[in-house]
Chains A and B, each alone.
Chain A
């Protein structure tokens, strides 16, 4: 019974008519229907704790099929463009972790069935740090990282 409900919500025939209208009419706050925000993972202070908090495991396999694009030297630590592209099938989630940030988890992306394993955003880095992409695919966790240097000082401030 719950399976059917879930499938309906995801496929949208019910969502479009009832849920969608209810959101539009302000009857349902988006918070009520969206995934719960993983507080523990976002407040975790180590990469291991982040991954555990997100996926219940911290066993990561290195993988060269994860292409992470970040600058070698960030022009400004407040806005660092990051993109992650995965050359694997069955990617369910991509997370971007900044190892040396006080709370390393910057963001996590849950992909729909037809969604490509690619995501791009702009993140804040508190200091020189590895930026690690954690990928969940086929029930396993993979990761790859790249170091980004963050420098401060001069007249740009």
Chain B
């Protein structure tokens, strides 16, 4: 708690959104949305789910050309095959998820009150595997990216609906994620918010910075850069690496907390994953 308060103190100079440790998530979300609405008045709320393509016509045109036949279609197909393949014990992923795992992506991450921790779709997939005697999948790329791509695809059109139950542990996880998002880090001393809130719509060298509102809806993404599918936390790792900050384990507590907060901020925006990005 003391650590959190010292981070808050350090942050009070750095950011432009009102940040108080005892503001509620609901108030945070209101402020977040108001900030982006003011910064990008021409962008309709749901369009924020398209990130930079909602704010830059030239890159949007290239994105639309790729979306005409996007490489992530291969990931969706492969993901479906993986999703439907039974485990050695005969059960399938459907047995671990509400609604058989179809059309549920918008509810993740969720706070599992029984386990007392944040569960992401990726960690739920691996929990399912472990519960059924299978080895967990690598937490980035490959099969897990394809599986989550398929599951995201079945949720297209459904609005992000992250819930923070009235449980101090859930609130603590949310606050931890929020602290991570606003904390300056790494040799370059930059916070997620520096680029994606304060400088959303500006350029960092050749890259247009995407607004954090609607950030999570289109993940996993097929990146032209690598020609492969990238999960959200893999991108967190990439960003932290680029500001030369401490690396955190994928699907560890820190990134799950970040994803919890980050996803809550996209509530109300339709899932449109998997997506294509540069």
Q: Mark B204-215, 1 if CB is under 8 A from A, else 0.
A: 111101000000
The stretch among A7-15, A67-75, A92-100 that forms the contact with chain B is A67-75
Are A156's CB and B66's CB within 8 A? no
Which of B203, B205, B224, B242 makes the CB contact (< 8 A) with A76?
A: B224
Q: Mark B180-217, 1 if CB is under 8 A from A, else 0.
A: 00000000000000010000000111110100000000
> Would you give the shortest CB distance from B37 to chain A, in whole angstroms?
25
Main secondary structure of the interface of A (DSSP, over half): loop
Which of A73, A76, A81, A153 makes the CB contact (< 8 A) with B65?
A: A81
Q: How many A-B residue pairs have CB under 8 A?
A: 51
Q: Is B62's CB within 8 Å of the partner chain A?
A: yes
Among A51-97, those with CB < 8 Å from B are 71-76, 78-81
Residues of A within 8 A of B61 (CB): 71
Residues of B within 8 A of A152 (CB): 206
How long is the Cα–Cα vector from A75 to B224 in the complex, in angstroms? 9
Contacts A71-B58, A75-B278: A156 and B63 contacting too (C-beta < 8 A)? no
Are A73's CB and B203's CB within 8 A? no
Q: Mark B29-65, 1 if CB is under 8 A from A, else 0.
A: 0000000000000000000000000000011011101
Q: Is B225's CB within 8 Å of the partner chain A?
A: yes
How long is the Cα–Cα vector from A72 to B58 in the complex, in angstroms? 8
Q: Is A138's CB within 8 Å of the partner chain B?
A: no
Are A78's CB and B227's CB within 8 A? yes
Most buried by B among A79, A80, A152, A156: A156
Residues of A within 8 A of B206 (CB): 151-154, 156
Contacts A155-B195, A155-B242: A79 and B224 contacting too (C-beta < 8 A)? yes
How long is the Cα–Cα vector from A73 to B278 in the complex, in angstroms? 13
How long is the Cα–Cα vector from A151 to B204 in the complex, in angstroms? 12
> Would you give the shortest CB distance from A80 to chain B, in whole angstroms?
8
Most buried by B among A71, A75, A78: A75
A71 nearest CB neighbor, chain B only: B62
Are B205's CB and A153's CB within 8 A? yes
Which of B62, B65, B204 makes the CB contact (< 8 A) with A155?
A: B204
Residues of B within 8 A of A157 (CB): 225, 242
Q: Which 6 A-B pairs give the minimum distances between C-beta atoms? A: A154-B207, A151-B206, A81-B65, A79-B224, A153-B205, A154-B205
A residues contacting B by CB (< 8 A) are: 71-76, 78-81, 122, 151-157
Q: A79-B224, A153-B207 are in contact. List 5 more A-B contacts (CB 8 A).
A: A75-B59, A75-B63, A76-B224, A155-B195, A157-B225
